[in-house]
């Protein structure tokens, strides 16, 4: 049996990622809470309720779990509606509570990585037009200045906005997130305003804290032509890739926003990333379909025979992460994998998903690409937006009614990886034996991925 150790560089960050509305509970003053109260929006009528009760103080026990499991970082987000419950009125108590969480992370040996916007907005913002109204840009900057000024002695890595690409589409084109818009033009407008809000935040944070690292978390989805030899499928996959993956990062690189609807110069956005933050979950194949103008004349489905999560939400396609890393690397920036994970209540798929994706990160590290950290989504089962509690992404299971946590085997597997700063064949054999031959093939059966960059 082959034995190998895939080591990561010293100082590599290992942790999990969370988001305020998904873990805090009782976030009554934002658009998500209001959305949850209206029937039909959330699977099975679920609500965030107490979530993981972090606002009630359970972040302490959960970060104890992270520290005990060898993590050295944690990514969490700040809830804008708590810090600024009404326009220009600041809740200093809420800011102190976030200082306490950041300090609590540091005290446990966890580097805090802080997201400033993760899908939820104060009600006063959504009532004044949300992200399609460009007036949000200076308002977001004002909030960012307040938070960064207050936390700058504790936090040095900032994620301005989580997944602006996915957020714009889900909230303004697909109707899945508040405000439930179904207009592609509005989604593109929101994407533009999100890009500019990020840029304003980037410049403001650097003014306050010149040495900080500022970026955002891009959602990358791999799109492969269903029939690779078919030029229409190739065109359709490319069109989706451009709109979903490339639109915002390109604008952040060269200051040009090139949507399929309009082009615009946004010079203030150029060069506004100190690192490339990547969220990757899955890949899909795309077939040209002239009857689907709303989805760029195409249909998407998971590759045939793929290893699917229990609800069919995610296919285990680690090559897509490799593709995402290669693309991120082409920007020349250091890279953080800011999210990666799978919903799996019985932990049947998660161990091999984890092993296979961390293997891709190691491939990149092995070519000396500057990948600096990996954050698994997520620590404890949380409120999964429009899917409510039907999706379980945690290393730890949560019983929301009792707040009981139960460890899944993947938590131990991830602990072995974090503690060793390496993925070894021994731990794969112990926790994901079914992935062993795929990751460590016997001599003479090496997969081409192991040898090419």
CB of 367 to ligand BGC, least distance (A): 27
Q: Which of residues 83-142 bind ligand BGC (CB under 6 A)?
A: none
Cα 162 to Cα 118: distance, rounded to the nearest angstrom: 5
CA angle 187, 193, 194 (to 5 degrees): 85
Compute the least distance from the CB of residue 21 to ligand BGC, in Å.
Answer: 9
Judge whether 7 and 421 are in contact, CB under 8 Å: yes
Closest C-alpha to 353, from 313, 300, 397: 313
Taking the least distance from each CB to ligand BGC, the nearer of 209 and 309 is 309
The dihedral sign for the CA sequence 365, 367, 370, 375:
negative
- Cβ(170)–Cβ(107) under 8 Å? no
Structural tokens at position 220: 């990358």
Nearer to ligand BGC (CB atom), residue 140 or residue 393 = 393
CB of 436 to ligand BGC, least distance (A): 27
32 binds ligand BGC (CB under 6 A): no
* Residue 393 is a binding residue for ligand BGC (CB under 6 A): yes
What angle is formed at CA 106 by the lines to CA 104 and CA 108, rounded to 5 degrees?
A: 70
Strands 335-339 and 276-288: parallel
Judged by CB, which is closer to ligand BGC: 392, or 415? 392
Binding mask 135-174 for ligand BGC (x = CB under 6 A): ---------------------------xx--x--------
339 touches ligand BGC by CB under 6 A: yes
CB 162 within 8 A of CB 139: no
Nearer to ligand BGC, 22 or 316 (CB): 22
> Considering beta carbons, is residue 8 or 55 the nearer one to ligand BGC?
55
Closer to ligand BGC at the Cβ: 157 or 365?
157
Number of residues interacting with ligand BGC: please give it, by CB under 6 A: 11
Q: Least distance from C-beta 93 to ligand BGC, angstroms?
A: 26
For the chain, the distance separating the N- and C-terminal CA atoms, rounded to the nearest angstrom, is 26
In the bound complex, what is the minimum distance in angstroms from residue 349's beta carbon to ligand BGC?
15
Helices (H), 259-329: 318-329
Residue number with CB closer to ligand BGC (317 or 384): 384
Residue 240 CB-half CA count within 13 A: 29
Rounded Cα distance, 73 and 63, in Å: 10
Cα 280 to Cα 320: distance, rounded to the nearest angstrom: 8
Structure tokens at 224: 């492969």
Place of tokens 């969490």: 76
For residue 233, state whether it binds ligand BGC (rule: CB under 6 A). no
User: What region does 45 belong to: left with phi over 0, alpha with psi -120 to 50, or beta?
Assistant: left
- In degrees, to the nearest 5, what angle opens at C-alpha 319 toward C-alphas 247 and 69? 100
Residue from 19, 173, 248, 432 that binds ligand BGC (CB under 6 A)?
Answer: 19
User: Quick check: 260 and 243 in contact, CB under 8 A?
Assistant: yes
Which of residues 360 and 378 has its CB atom nearest to ligand BGC in the complex? 378
30 forms part of the interface with ligand BGC (CB under 6 A): no
Nearest distance from C-beta of residue 384 to ligand BGC, angstroms: 5
Interface with ligand BGC (CB under 6 A), residue from 377, 389, 396, 440: 377
Nearer to ligand BGC, 287 or 398 (CB): 398
CB of 377 to ligand BGC, least distance (A): 5
Q: Does 375 bind ligand BGC (CB under 6 A)?
A: no
| Token code pair at residue 344 | 């799996």
In this complex, which beta carbon is closest to ligand BGC, that of residue 30 or of residue 427?
30
- The residue at minimum Cβ distance from ligand BGC is 19
Q: Is 384 in the site for ligand BGC (CB under 6 A)?
A: yes
SS3 155: coil
Site string for ligand BGC, 201-220 (x = CB under 6 A): ------------------x-
Q: What are the residues binding ligand BGC (CB under 6 A)?
A: 19, 22, 162-163, 166, 219, 279, 339, 377, 384, 393
């Amino acid at each position: 049996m082959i034995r190998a150790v895939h080591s990561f560089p010293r100082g590599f960050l290992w942790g999990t990622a969370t988001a305020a509305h998904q873990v805090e509970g009782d976030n009554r003053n934002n658009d998500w809470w209001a959305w949850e109260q209206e029937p039909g929006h959330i699977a099975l009528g679920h609500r965030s309720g107490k979530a993981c009760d972090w606002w009630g103080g359970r972040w302490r026990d959960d970060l104890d779990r992270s520290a005990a499991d060898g993590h050295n970082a944690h990514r969490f987000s700040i809830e804008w509606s708590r810090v600024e419950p009404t326009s220009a009125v600041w809740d200093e108590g809420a800011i102190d509570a976030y200082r306490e969480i950041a300090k609590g992370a540091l005290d446990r040996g966890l580097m805090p990585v802080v997201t400033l916007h993760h899908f939820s907005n104060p009600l006063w913002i959504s009532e004044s037009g949300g992200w399609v109204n460009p007036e949000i840009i200076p308002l977001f900057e004002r909030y960012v200045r307040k938070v960064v000024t207050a936390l700058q002695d504790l936090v040095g890595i900032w994620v301005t906005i989580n997944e602006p690409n996915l957020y714009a589409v889900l909230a303004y084109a697909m109707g899945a997130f508040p405000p439930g818009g179904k207009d592609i033009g509005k989604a593109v407008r929101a994407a533009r305003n999100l890009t500019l809000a990020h840029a304003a935040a980037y410049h403001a944070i650097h003014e306050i804290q010149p040495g900080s690292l500022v970026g955002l978390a891009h959602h990358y989805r791999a799109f492969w032509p269903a029939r690779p030899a078919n030029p229409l499928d190739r065109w359709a996959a490319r069109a989706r890739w451009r709109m979903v993956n490339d639109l915002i990062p390109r604008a952040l690189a060269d200051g040009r926003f090139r949507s399929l609807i309009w082009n615009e110069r946004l010079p203030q956005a150029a060069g506004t990333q100190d690192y490339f933050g990547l969220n990757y979950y899955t890949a899909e194949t795309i077939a040209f379909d002239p009857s689907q103008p709303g989805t760029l004349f195409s249909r998407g489905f998971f590759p045939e025979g793929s290893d699917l999560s229990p609800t069919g939400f995610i296919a285990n396609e680690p090559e897509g992460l490799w593709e995402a890393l290669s693309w991120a690397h082409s920007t020349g920036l250091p890279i953080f994998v800011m999210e990666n994970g799978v919903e799996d209540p019985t932990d049947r798929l998660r161990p091999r998903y984890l092993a296979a994706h961390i293997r891709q990160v190691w491939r990149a590290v092995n070519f000396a690409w500057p990948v600096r950290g990996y954050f698994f989504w997520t620590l404890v089962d949380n409120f999964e937006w429009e899917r409510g509690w039907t999706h379980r992404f945690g290393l730890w299971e949560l019983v929301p009614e009792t707040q009981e946590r139960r460890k899944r085997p993947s938590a131990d597997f991830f602990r072995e990886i974090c503690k060793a700063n390496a993925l070894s064949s021994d731990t794969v054999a112990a926790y994901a034996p079914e992935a062993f031959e795929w990751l460590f093939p016997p001599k003479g059966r090496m997969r081409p991925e192991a040898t090419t960059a």
